[in-house]
């Protein structure tokens, strides 16, 4: 099972196993990771699962959909590596993925 590392804005790390096929957001919610609220439940209808993807992993992700781009407009503290964690599906290739949560979501 792939391991995902979630890093809070204060540097506290949480490394958890997330089943293939789940979203990075689901892995956070099911493991009570702070900073990822997922108010819409993963429907890409809010930005409360906003994360910063570690630069080394950006090229391994599917590109952002138009809907994700639109929802990211509602996120605070946007960066070029901003993504909605509900839109990142966990695959075996993402074993070791590192995402960080923005300060505004804590």
Give tens-digit pLDDT for 11-66: 999 999 999 999 999 999 999 999 999 999 999 999 999 999 999 999 999 999 99
98 pLDDT higher than 90:
yes
N residues, the chain: 106
Q: Please give the Cα distance from 45 to 48 (Å, whole number).
A: 9
CB 13, CB 5: distance < 8 Å: yes
pTM of the model: 0.95
Is residue 104 predicted with pLDDT exceeding 90? no
Domains, the chain, with CATH or none: 3-98 (3.10.20.30)
| Under 8 Å between Cβ of 72 and 47 | yes
Q: How confident is the model at residue 106 (pLDDT cuts 50, 70, 90)?
A: confident
The rounded distance, in Å, linking the Cα atoms of 3 and 5 is 7
What pLDDT shows up at residue 102?
95
Q: Cβ(90)–Cβ(2) under 8 Å?
A: yes
């Amino acid at each position: 099972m792939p391991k995902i590392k979630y890093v809070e804005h204060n540097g506290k790390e949480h490394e958890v196993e997330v089943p293939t096929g789940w979203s990075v957001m689901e892995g956070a919610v099911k493991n009570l990771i702070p900073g990822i609220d997922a108010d819409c439940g993963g429907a890409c209808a809010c930005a409360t699962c906003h994360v910063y993807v570690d630069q080394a992993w950006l090229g391994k992700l599917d590109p952002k959909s138009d809907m994700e781009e639109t929802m990211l407009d509602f996120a605070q503290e946007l960066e070029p590596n901003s993504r909605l964690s509900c839109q990142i599906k966990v695959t075996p290739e993402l074993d070791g993925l590192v995402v960080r949560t923005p300060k505004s979501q804590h």
